[in-house]
Every structure is written in structure tokens, then in C-alpha cells.
């Protein structure tokens, strides 16, 4: 049986590792990108253009598409609502419609931000009622809905799968690719004379690794593909899945950990326990911890990288 996968957003933090996870398991893999596409392993595709998407599917002929591409930074989403909706919702609907028509399994990467994250609500099961607190979460939820709707309309229910994940970290080309990795820059800036930095110490995060090896999001995407493509009736399998680490940290605690690992002071970083500014346009959830029960029920391994251990290895610091 042919094993070919297409990964959108293949030049991004997650997309690169999803490509590697499939390659590691002997799949033929192509990616899509735009500004950083090389035209060979990563095809230049504007996902908002139907003709580009159609050409990519016709060229690659994948059995599986993993849709990683998105506008995923809440502040940037608020600054460009039209562009965000065009990519996160409209392009997703178009891709889902085309994939469904060809019987292609589509894994749509979504977010824990589809949930309100109110104190006491977490962990959220996959069937819990979403209620996003910001535009980013809303557009990702709308993306989830159009994926499931397009596959149901095509009579291919079960081949359109949603995978929700929390904040991600890993081998970044630049720290700004990840809301976790960029905290390393914060710790270094805290070493500057007269530095004063406020860091969130209110919202709980569950940073999850994207590396392509054994305990990561990339591996889970591959394992979902094998499970659903091997099913005689994928419509009977869960349509919404969730993957998350159990590492529970605020951003301030991450900075503190990075400081300890690198032997740097974080005295200039002040913990901010005030929560959301009620006047801010982007309201962030307090705790959106995702339950991984749906994945466990499928027999898919939900183990994750140890956050502290990975970062000790990554910065080559092996202090106790």
C-alpha cells in the first residue's frame, strides 16, 4: 500500500517535525510552504488559492494530509482578523473539501484555546463544549467545524480528524517560532543592566514537544494516520483527539527553570499574577489542560518528553 503524506506549513516549528516523523517511518513526504518553500521537498503553495491547493494534491497524490499551517499567534490574529479567517477557516474548508472528495485522511491541527480555561474546569475532554476567549481560538474552532462538516457532506465521516494541542516547543530555527522557546531570549535580556521584565505567573501552560522522535506531536500524527487508514470503518473512531504533556508551568516558572539550567539570574523578571487586563483585546485562558483520553482509547501512546530533561539536553546543561 502506497504511503504518501502531504504536510502544510512544513517550514514551521511543528510542520518540520511532522515531516520528519513520517520520513522516519518510511513514508514519501512532501510539504507546502510559501516564503521559505524550496520547490522540491517543500512546494510553494498559497493555501488561500484553490488552484494552488488543487495542483499540490494532484501532484503529490497523498493518502494523508496533516494541516499544520495557521495564523497561530493570538496578538497577530487580532491585528489581522481578515487574513486570519482566510487562512484558519476558509483555506481549511477548501482543503477539507478537496481531501474529502478524494478520500484523503486529513489531520487538522487545532488548539487548546478553543476552551475558555476557567478555573476549575480543566482538564477538558475532547467532547467538552468549546467557548474560545479570543479570535485565534474562535478561528481554530471554526476550522474544526468546517473539517468535520466537509467530510460528512462527502460521506467520508471519520477521515477528517481534529487534533488539539497546547503550546509547543522544540528545535526552533529562531526562538520566536515558539512562545516557549522565546522565553530563553527573555532570560538573556534579564541579564542586561537595569532590565525590568514582567512575566505572566497566572495562566497555566502545558508545553509539549514537537520533536520527530518517540515522544512528541509528530509521532502522534503518524500514529493517528496508521490507525485511521487501517480502520475498516473510520467513521466509528473519534473525530476529535487531544494530545498534551502533563508538565504544568506558568511562563514565569519556565523562565525560572531556564535560568536554573543556564546558571543565569532572573532577578530582573517580575512574576505577574494579575491575570488578564480586562481592557486587552486578547483574553487568554487560565487553564486549558487537555485530556488525552480519546487517544488512549485508540491505543495510541500519549507519553511525552520531560520538559526539564529536554531543555537540559538542548542547552547542553546537565546540572542536577
Length of the chain: 320
In the residue annotation, 136 being an active-site residue is answered as yes
Q: Cα dist. 278→213, 255, 283 in Å?
A: 41, 25, 8
Neighbours of 4 (CB within 10 A): 16
Question: Which residue among the candidates 108, 113, 124, 136 is catalytic per the annotation?
Answer: 136
Dihedral angle, C-alpha 177, 271, 207, 91, nearest 10 °: -50
Query: Could you tell me which of 87, 107, 98, 85 has the C-alpha nearest to residue 56?
Result: 98
Sign, CA dihedral 106-86-141-183, equals positive
What residues form DSSP beta bridges with 67? 8, 108
Q: Active-site residues: which are they?
A: 136
Amino acid at each position: 500500500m502506497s504511503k504518501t503524506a502531504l504536510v502544510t506549513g512544513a517550514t514551521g516549528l511543528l510542520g518540520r517535525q511532522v515531516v520528519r516523523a513520517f520520513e522516519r517511518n518510511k513514508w514519501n513526504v512532501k510539504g507546502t510552504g510559501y516564503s521559505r518553500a524550496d520547490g522540491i521537498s517543500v512546494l510553494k503553495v498559497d493555501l488561500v488559492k484553490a488552484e494552488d491547493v488543487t495542483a499540490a494534491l494532484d501532484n503529490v497524490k497523498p493518502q494523508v494530509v496533516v494541516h499544520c499551517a495557521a495564523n497561530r499567534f493570538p496578538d497577530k490574529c487580532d491585528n489581522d482578523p481578515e487574513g486570519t479567517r482566510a487562512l484558519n477557516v476558509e483555506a481549511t474548508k477548501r482543503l477539507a473539501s478537496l481531501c474529502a472528495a478524494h478520500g484523503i485522511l486529513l489531520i487538522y491541527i487545532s488548539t487548546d484555546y478553543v476552551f475558555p480555561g476557567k478555573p476549575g474546569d480543566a482538564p477538558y475532554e475532547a467532547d467538552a463544549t468549546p467557548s474560545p476567549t479570543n479570535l485565534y481560538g474562535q478561528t481554530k474552532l471554526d476550522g474544526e467545524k468546517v473539517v468535520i462538516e466537509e467530510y460528512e457532506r462527502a460521506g467520508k465521516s471519520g477521515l477528517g480528524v481534529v487534533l488539539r494541542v497546547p503550546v509547543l516547543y522544540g528545535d526552533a530555527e529562531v526562538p520566536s517560532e515558539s512562545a516557549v522557546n522565546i522565553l530563553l531570549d527573555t532570560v538573556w535580556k534579564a541579564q542586561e543592566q537595569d532590565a525590568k521584565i514582567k512575566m505572566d505567573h497566572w495562566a497555566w501552560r502545558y508545553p509539549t514537544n514537537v520533536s520527530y522522535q518517540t515522544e512528541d506531536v509528530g509521532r502522534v500524527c503518524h500514529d493517528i494516520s496508521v490507525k485511521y487508514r487501517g480502520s475498516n470503518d473510520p467513521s466509528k473512531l473519534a473525530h476529535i483527539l487531544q494530545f498534551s504533556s502533563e508538565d504544568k508551568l506558568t511562563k514565569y516558572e519556565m523562565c525560572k527553570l531556564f535560568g536554573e539550567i543556564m546558571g543565569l539570574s532572573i532577578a530582573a523578571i517580575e512574576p505577574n499574577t494579575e491575570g488578564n487586563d480586562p481592557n486587552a483585546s486578547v483574553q487568554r485562558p487560565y487553564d486549558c489542560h487537555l485530556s488525552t483520553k480519546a487517544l488512549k482509547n485508540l491505543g495510541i501512546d500519549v507519553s511525552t518528553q520531560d520538559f526539564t530533561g529536554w531543555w537540559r539536553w538542548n542547552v547542553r546543561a546537565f546540572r542536577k
